[in-house]
Structure 1
Amino acid sequence: MGARPEAEPRGYPEAIVGRAEPIDVRRIDATSRTPGVDYLWRVRWDVTEPYEQRVVPQPRLHLAAEQGRLLVHGVTRRPFVRRLVDRGHVLGASFTPGGFHGYLRSSVGRLSDAEVPAGEVLGLDDRPYADRILAADATDDTIVAALTDYLEAVGYDPDPRAGEVAELVAAAEQDRTLVRADALAALGGISLRTLQREFATYVGIGPKWVLQRFRLLEAAAAARSGDDVDWAALAAELGFSDQAHLVRRFTEVVGTPPATYAREVGG
């Protein structure tokens, strides 16, 4: 059965900032052969001039074929920017929160804010698989098969606690009233210190950052909605101290203030 591409990556379309028309982004469903993977994503581009694609980081690790390697991208606090030139493609795996831990078999926190060749941390040379994925004539089916083969060869050790932490991340994403880490800890029935330790181990970043990032993505969704937004009221609702706090954090992450972003995306 061939890979089944879908029009939008799962999660927030706001995570991709200012996507250009020559850039084709597809989400491809993960299979039972890749436990811990939420979905695969494929990007193809054909640009006449160099183009910088900016992505708002989310609390998840990625494994992507680029520059002749499979690179592990830890959770990063900085916006993710890639310069696209000429014609090419990239394939990546987006792991569920806690999902990469089963392949790494140790704390994913050591990969935060880092890009590391997979072979250096997973113990299996990634270059032959990257060559298969990045071949000029590679199809979606062949590149998905190559990445799947690599993860299957590395092997996966499930950790029940990783799934429980993933449930807390899901709660942080879905419940906009959750704006404090101590409230998230109470929801999980654990202490704040334990929550912080487990997020570092399984997610790769602290719960305060996770909560604020999801709230910022909600602000981006509001900016894209086309509706008039009371930014002061939204800032209070999303747990920011005031409108200036929201605008400052939004600008750091997206690269432009929310009102400007709304105009740029046609909202």
Structure 2
Amino acid sequence: MVSPTRGVLYPARLPEFHRLPPEAAARDLAVWFWIPEWSIEPGRSSRQEIVGYPALNLVVEQGVVTLSGATTRASHRDLRGTGWAVGALLRPAAVAALVDDPAMLVDTEQTVDAPELVEAVSAAMASGEGRRERAVAVFSDWLLRRVGPLDDAARHPNALVEVLMGDDSADTIEEAAMRLAVSTRTLQRLCHRHVGVSPAAMIRRRRLQEAAERLRLDPGIDLSGLAAELGYADHAHLTRDFRNILGMAPRTYRTGSSEQSPDESAQT
């Protein structure tokens, strides 16, 4: 599993937050489960800013199940009061059982009629110590029943996650297609069918997530060297990506992330 905070722009603002692996039988269906729990004092909020993974998320929260698509920009959410959420970062093999066209969900979400999932996860999260593990277990079980048995053809698109987003990911569409033993045209179709965005967009997102994480962990890092290391054409290319997706320059993000403290996330 990659860094537990990759994709989170300001980890100091996070409430209690966990990423847990799925049950063994559901590893072909979910990359991981993510569970935030929060208790914000009245009159205040905590803004969570995310540059999300190019994938679909199935989320149980406040008595509702939602299916969220991949995003094209950084997003945020203001947490208030007391609550929790249990989300599954879905692998491509799980997508077809939940939505016909994931491209229609890019930058949006839809509700899923699954009262039995809400009931099971809510009961698990109310059960005290070990609640997160129990929530993952019942969520994994629901996914297994919803998706049904997978054959090799159904599992094949899962390789997209490792080839395009893993620690040893491809730097170009051509390299990704070669690793998957498919044509670039087939790779394009697989990404649109199972994720909703292009392989180029997935590669850019992985680069940007890693760039943000590296800047946060090492504020003194040389931007030109970082750009070259991550496969950007030059420093200007990295800066354009930052501005287009995060709405700020790398230097601005570097300064803000290094100065951020937990108390600064509280807003009136």
Scaled by the length of structure 1, the TM-score of the pair is: 0.80
For the pair 1:86 / 2:54, whether they are aligned, the reply is: no
User: What is the identity percentage for the equivalent residue pairs of Structure 1 and Structure 2?
Assistant: 27
1:248 deviates by: 2.3
Aligned residue in 2 for 1:68? 63
Of the candidates 97, 108, 114, which is equivalent to residue 102 of structure 2?
108
Q: In structure 1, how many angstroms separate the alpha carbons of the residues matched to 2:3 and 2:70?
A: 16
Q: In structure 1, how many angstroms separate the alpha carbons of the residues matched to 2:160 and 2:244?
A: 25
Unaligned ranges ≥5, structure 1: 1-8, 120-125
1:72 deviates by: 0.7
For the pair 1:172 / 2:164, whether they are aligned, the reply is: yes
Of the candidates 230, 240, 249, which is equivalent to residue 257 of structure 1?
249
Name which of structure 1's ranges 192-201 and 27-36 shifts more when overlaid on structure 2.
27-36
Aligned residue in 2 for 1:123? none
Do the aligned partners of 1:53 and 1:84 also contact (CA within 8 Å) in 2? yes
Aligned residue in 1 for 2:210? 218
Aligned residue in 2 for 1:39? 32
Of the candidates 131, 147, 152, which is equivalent to residue 160 of structure 1?
152
Name which of structure 1's ranges 211-220 and 140-149 shifts more when overlaid on structure 2.
140-149
Aligned residue in 1 for 2:266? none
Q: In structure 2, how many angstroms separate the alpha carbons of the residues matched to 1:12 and 1:70?
A: 23
Distance 1:255 1:52, change over 3 A: farther
Of the candidates 118, 139, 142, which is equivalent to residue 130 of structure 1?
118
Do the aligned partners of 2:73 and 2:246 also contact (CA within 8 Å) in 1? no
Distance 1:101 1:259, change over 3 A: same
1:161 deviates by: 3.7
Aligned partner letter, 2:81: D
Do the aligned partners of 1:89 and 1:134 also contact (CA within 8 Å) in 2? no
Q: In structure 2, how many angstroms separate the alpha carbons of the residues matched to 1:239 and 1:231?
A: 12
Aligned partner letter, 2:83: G
Do the aligned partners of 1:10 and 1:27 also contact (CA within 8 Å) in 2? no
Q: Deviations over 1:26-47 (max 9, x none)?
A: 1222114534112211110112
Larger relative contact order (Cα-Cα within 8 Å, sequence gap ≥ 6) = 2
RMSD: 2.8
Distance 1:11 1:202, change over 3 A: farther
Is the partner of 1:72 in helix, strand or coil?
strand
Aligned residue in 1 for 2:264? none
For the pair 1:53 / 2:41, whether they are aligned, the reply is: no
**Aligned residues, how many?**
251
Q: In structure 2, how many angstroms separate the alpha carbons of the residues matched to 1:84 and 1:151?
A: 27
